Each structure stands twice: as structure tokens, then as C-alpha cells.
């Protein structure tokens, strides 16, 4: 008989755990997510960095320190297996004054203690060779070559696709209402869509992990949100080749300047602690954005005019009691595993967290895991027509004319890309058609015009493929049905 496992939360941690647990033939794995699609919580809005592992103090935050560097190494393998866009461009932690070198030396020593390879201090000449556009006020830096970048939501999507292909069952738009515990043992999960029987429950609920834990009678920690705000610029604005950090403070790694994976200059985040009840507060503020702007200028003085900003946004990080990741089987409730407080560097650590959980299931719960001989680590090949060189794109468009019809002019996204995205949405169980689900799979609507041209066409395709009226298509799930303007544009056939 298979052991039934319920994972609560389809963010980067939950998706990674689902993928790793899909390796084992004696597990029946269920991935539960209250949002309409995967990766729409904490994983949705962050700096998208694969950190180097130098920042976390192993004496103060031993779990973070251990799993960050391990996760970095695993991502080098996972991005290849899952066709996740990535770059290993390295990071510079920049000194602007002499006293910064004391902190950089501490980071260098800490990184070596954590096992980070190839770190070194660089002086001005080498620094400006690595990053010519850096502020002339810079006097040196710590160079960390193993830092990289990925696209977080596409990474979650890739993980879930691979997990589902290997047998994981998804339950999207399914909110957890309670944890059933009898005689000190987990029995299952009460949800908005009925009861899901489970022998093991893994709480990877991000900002709401403390609330899920309380449903099982576990109350020793609390999660509060830490907000970070960002600017994203048009893709014709030049950005740095490396990830640029200021010398960090006790509360934050500082305002980062980077060219994100799609080629857009991005600056942020700041750090503002919010009370626990503000876990949905994603509003940007004039004061916060001004703090980001001024902080970024210290590293990258040639910021473009604000007319080149195409988007501002905010993300929330789940800050736990004590600051360290909470990853453990709870003794008072057999079968309940917390994966809570996964704040930065949670994206980096996610693959290592997944293997940590598999180890907990075997070691602490005594469930012997039996590997599948048929487990496939590779994601089904994705076309990504908009990323192909012209000769390859022309070849594919000849075979399938849908790839020759451009829907998003800003990012060269074709009808074929959108139809493929819809098919993949259905494969992992996305029930409600949304423009955001297409955006995160194809980059459509993320360019200069922010969807003013392509959104009506995307709505038309979603309506057709999901067999619904256009006005039942949503922007980001139920309650965000499209506006009448989009429907009128669609009906008029506006270009």
C-alpha cells in the first residue's frame, strides 16, 4: 500500500518537494494550492537570484547556510533537466567606502566556511573590468562567480509539469480549511473541495505556514511579511552584466541592480516589515519606491528616465520567528512536516529543501522510500518560439503555421506559443483560464505596451480552448474577469 502525502502550497518549495517525492513508487503525492495556478504566492515576485551562499551566518542560521549552497549546486543540474531559462553571471558586493571592507571580509570568511568556491576580493581595476557601468565611487568588491538568475514562476511551472508527468496529482483552486489529526497522527486535509486523505502532510504554505500549522495544533512560530518593492524598465535600457549588491545591513542584502533573465533592468528591493495580518499587502508606496530609486543610483548612477519604467511591483517574504528556515517533522503530530519561514534564500535553497524533506520522511517518520525505475527527470520539451534563432523559428513555423502568427509584438510571442501554454496549463490542472497564466509561461503582456495590443488576442484563444465566453476569461483567476473594453476590442478585431 502506498503512503499518501499531501503537500500544501505550490510555490518553489512545494513544487520542488513534489518533484523529488515523485521519484518514489511507494508514495502517492498530492499537491494542494489555493490559487488558480502554481507559483502565484511568495514565489511570484522576488529578485530571482540563485544566491552564492556567503550571506547566511552558519552559527545563527545553520539551516539557511547549509541549504543555500547545496541548493545552488543542485540548480545547476535542475535548470538543464527542466529547460529553465538561467544565467550564471556572478555577483559583486560593492564597497563604496573604506569601512565596507570590514563587512566584505566577514562575508568572504563566512562564504568560505559555508563552502562557497572561488570567492575573492577585487580591487578597482578588476572591478570595472567585470562591470564597466558601475558607479565611479566604487573602491572594490567581493566577487562571487557562482551567483545566477532564473525566472521563478517558469521554474515552478517546470517543476510541477515534471512532477505531474511522474505521477503527482494537483489540486488547484483548493483552499485548506483544516488538518485532521487523530490520536496524535495526521489523517488528512479538509479543503474547499472536500477531504484529501493523507498519512503525511507537508506544510509549504509560504506566508500562511503558521496558520496551517495552527490547524494541526502547532503554535510555536509566527510568520510576518517583509515587503520589498521593485522597478522594472523597458528592455532597451542597458543594465549591468553582473548582479550588483551594496554592502549588506543586518536587515537586508540591500537594493540590488540587475538585468533580469528576460533582459530588463530591474532595481530593488527595499525591506519593510509588516504585521502578520497584512499578508496580502502588495501595494507599492511612493516612499518605498523612492528609497529603491535612491539606493540603486548609488550603484548604477545612469538610471534611465522614469518614462522608461514599464512596471513597479512588490513582493512579500515570509519572515519566521527566529529567522531560520523551519524544516522538521513535528513530534506532537506524527506525519506533520513543517517547511515554514522559507524567506531569502528560499528560491536558491528549494531543491535542497526538497531532499531534506525526503530525508525527514525516511529518518524521522521511518518510511522507507523506494525509487521508481521509470522516473524521468526531464521535462517534456518546450518550444519557446520567441527565444529561437530566426532559421530555427522559420523551420518550426513552416511545420506549424500557428507559430508564424505573432500575438505579442513586444516579445515576439506567437499563437503557437500561447496554444502550447494552454495545453500545458490543462496538463497540470489549471481550471480557470487567465491572462496571467499565459504571461508567466510565454512573456506575452510583459513588454513595452504591457498587453495593450496582445491581451484581446490572448483572451480569444483562452476562450476558444477552454470553451467559455470571452467575458469568463480572467486576468488572474476568479473575481478578475476581463473588462468590457477587452471584449469590445476582441469583437472589433482590433490590431
What lies within 8 Å, CB to CB, of 471 at 6+ separation is: 481, 482, 484, 487
User: Which helix or strand (DSSP H or E) is residue 492 part of?
Assistant: helix 484-492
Is 264 one of the catalytic residues? no
CA-atom Rg of the chain in angstroms: 23
Q: Are strands 3-8 and 200-203 parallel, antiparallel or unpaired?
A: parallel
| CA quadruple 342, 345, 351, 357: dihedral, nearest 10 | -30
Is the peptide bond preceding residue 345 cis, with omega within 30 degrees of 0? yes
What lies within 8 Å, CB to CB, of 92 at 6+ separation is: 122, 127, 130, 131, 134, 141, 142, 143, 144, 242, 243, 244, 245
User: Which spans in 22-142 are helix H?
Assistant: 62-82, 100-114, 124-130
Q: CA-to-CA distance for 303 and 297, rounded, in angstroms?
A: 7
Instruction: Name the catalytic one among 30, 51, 86, 171.
Output: 51
Q: CA-to-CA distance for 154 and 83, rounded, in angstroms?
A: 10
Q: CA-to-CA distance for 175 and 169, rounded, in angstroms?
A: 15
Q: CA-to-CA distance for 352 and 334, rounded, in angstroms?
A: 23
Quote the longest CA-to-CA distance of the chain. Answer: 66
Q: CA-to-CA distance for 328 and 323, rounded, in angstroms?
A: 15
Q: CA-to-CA distance for 374 and 353, rounded, in angstroms?
A: 23
> Is the CB of residue 88 less than 8 Å from the CB of residue 52?
no
Q: CA-to-CA distance for 7 and 343, rounded, in angstroms?
A: 18
Alpha-carbon separation of residue 175 from 208, 209, 342 (angstroms): 11, 13, 20
> Is the CB of residue 48 less than 8 Å from the CB of residue 151?
yes
Q: CA-to-CA distance for 227 and 165, rounded, in angstroms?
A: 35
Q: CA-to-CA distance for 356 and 329, rounded, in angstroms?
A: 11
Q: What secondary structure letter does DSSP report for 334?
A: B
Query: Catalytic residue numbers?
Result: 51
Amino acid at each position: 500500500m502506498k503512503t499518501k502525502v499531501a503537500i500544501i502550497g505550490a510555490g518553489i518549495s512545494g513544487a520542488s518537494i513534489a518533484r523529488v517525492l515523485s521519484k518514489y513508487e511507494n508514495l502517492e503525492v498530492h499537491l494542494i494550492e489555493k490559487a488558480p495556478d502554481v507559483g502565484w504566492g511568495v514565489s511570484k515576485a522576488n529578485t530571482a537570484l540563485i544566491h552564492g551562499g556567503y550571506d547566511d551566518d552558519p552559527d545563527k542560521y545553520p539551516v539557511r547556510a547549509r541549504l543555500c549552497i547545496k541548493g545552488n549546486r543542485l540548480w545547476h543540474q535542475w535548470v538543464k533537466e527542466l529547460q529553465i531559462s538561467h544565467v550564471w553571471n556572478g555577483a559583486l558586493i560593492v564597497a563604496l567606502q573604506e569601512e565596507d571592507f570590514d563587512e566584505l571580509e566577514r562575508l568572504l570568511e563566512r562564504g568560505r566556511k559555508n563552502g562557497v568556491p572561488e570567492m575573492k576580493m577585487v580591487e578597482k581595476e578588476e572591478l570595472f573590468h567585470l562591470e564597466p557601468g558601475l558607479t565611479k565611487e566604487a573602491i572594490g568588491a567581493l566577487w562571487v562567480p557562482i551567483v545566477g538568475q532564473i525566472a521563478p514562476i517558469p521554474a515552478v511551472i517546470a517543476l510541477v509539469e515534471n512532477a505531474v508527468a511522474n505521477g503527482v496529482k494537483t489540486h488547484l483552486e483548493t483552499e485548506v480549511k483544516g488538518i485532521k489529526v487523530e490520536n496524535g497522527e495526521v489523517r488528512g486535509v479538509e479543503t474547499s473541495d472536500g477531504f484529501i486523505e493523507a498519512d503525511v502532510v507537508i506544510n509549504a504554505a509560504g506566508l500562511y505556514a503558521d496558520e496551517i500549522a495552527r490547524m494541526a495544533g502547532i503554535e510555536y512560530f509566527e510568520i510576518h511579511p517583509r515587503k520589498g518593492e521593485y522597478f522594472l524598465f523597458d528592455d532597451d535600457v542597458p543594465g549591468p552584466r553582473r548582479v550588483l549588491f551594496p554592502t549588506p545591513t543586518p536587515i537586508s542584502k540591500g537594493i540590488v541592480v540587475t538585468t533580469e533573465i528576460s533582459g530588463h533592468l530591474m532595481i530593488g528591493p527595499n525591506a519593510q516589515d509588516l504585521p502578520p495580518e497584512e499578508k496580502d499587502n502588495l501595494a507599492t508606496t511612493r516612499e518605498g519606491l523612492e528609497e529603491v530609486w535612491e539606493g540603486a543610483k548609488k550603484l548604477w548612477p545612469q538610471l534611465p528616465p522614469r518614462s522608461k519604467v514599464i512596471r513597479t511591483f512588490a513582493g512579500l517574504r515570509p519572515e519566521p520567528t527566529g529567522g531560520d528556515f523551519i524544516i522538521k517533522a513535528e513530534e506532537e503530530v506524527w506525519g506533520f512536516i513543517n517547511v515554514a519561514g522559507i524567506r531569502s534564500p528560499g528560491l536558491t535553497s528549494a531543491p535542497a529543501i526538497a531532499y531534506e524533506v525526503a530525508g525527514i520522511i525516511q529518518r524521522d517518520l521511518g518510511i522507507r522510500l523506494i525509487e521508481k525505475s521509470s522516473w524521468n527527470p526531464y521535462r517534456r520539451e518546450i518550444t519557446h518560439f520567441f527565444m529561437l534563432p530566426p532559421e530555427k523559428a522559420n523551420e518550426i513555423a513552416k511545420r506549424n503555421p500557428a507559430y508564424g502568427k505573432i500575438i505579442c509584438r513586444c516579445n515576439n510571442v506567437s499563437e503557437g506559443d500561447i496554444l502550447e501554454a494552454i495545453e500545458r496549463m490543462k496538463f497540470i490542472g489549471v481550471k480557470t483560464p487567465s491572462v496571467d497564466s499565459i504571461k508567466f509561461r510565454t512573456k506575452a503582456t510583459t513588454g513595452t505596451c504591457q498587453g495593450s495590443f496582445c491581451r484581446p488576442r490572448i483572451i480569444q484563444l483562452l476562450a476558444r480552448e477552454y470553451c467559455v465566453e470571452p467575458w469568463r476569461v480572467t486576468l488572474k483567476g476568479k473575481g478578475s474577469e476581463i473588462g468590457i473594453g477587452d471584449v469590445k476590442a476582441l469583437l472589433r478585431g482590433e490590431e
